[in-house]
A and B are shown apart, each in its own frame.
Chain A
């Protein structure tokens, strides 16, 4: 009886010790692999202020509730070819230029309007008053 009790206690101790070691090793391994990968390599290469700035920007997007949209747009933009990216950058310059040409009141209304409405207005403006520039913007073979 005493021997059986002792054997059970010994087995319990061994089992607990084995569980402790297994959990420790597993968690250590999980922790190590959680902070590995190309993103973490890039992160470690950044300076401390740069890290703080990226963290601040992400936190700002989170607090504004714009993180999902912003990140999704950035992902979609990054998937485009470099020519397509350059074209969209040029188009953005034109949008700003067209908006700048508008009287202050109309510009304010346009900034409040939906993106789609703003795009139609810019297209209409280009079509009416900057036809030459619009032609230049037509997609070439490279930009699809």
Chain B
């Protein structure tokens, strides 16, 4: 006894079978429980996947829609992941740069752009000189203050103290 194959079931369900064959298989199905089960199973699968719509060639089949969706979703996911990764890396890079800038600013404040030892000493010497500019000018006018101030001051005290 001849039974339906999956291929024949497809033809049967999609209406692509010759009418004579269809009548013959319908009669067979009335008698054969195994072929009936095969047809039922196939019909259930078709309805689940909505393959019946495949009759309209303009409309994409369920499988095509699934594949189409997969093609769209997978690259989107990849792009999103890549974008997230780029944002994360960019963020951490920016944070690292800002930290480096912070360290640089603390290490080399404005005015010490050339932070070698000689420049630093020269800068300090200049600042000290400016701070003592009045005294340096006094010493310039009266250089004897350096060596003879104590002598002169003591002499002055003596004259005042032992005034006749």
Contacts and interface: CB of A to CB of B under 8 A. Distances in A.
Interface of A: 2, 5-6, 9-10, 12-13, 16-17, 19-20, 23-24, 27-28, 30-31, 34, 39-40, 42-43, 51, 54-55, 57-59, 66, 70-71, 73-78, 87-89, 91-92, 94-95, 115-116, 118-120, 122-123, 127, 134-135, 137-139
Contacts of A23: 102, 105-106
Contacts of B137: 54
B110 interface: yes
B73 interface: no
B130 A40 contact: yes
B130 A77 contact: no
B1 interface: no
Contacts, number: 144
Interface residues of B, number: 51
Determine the main DSSP class of A at the interface with B: helix
A2 B84 contact: yes
Given A31-B110, A31-B111, A42-B133, A89 B142 contact: yes
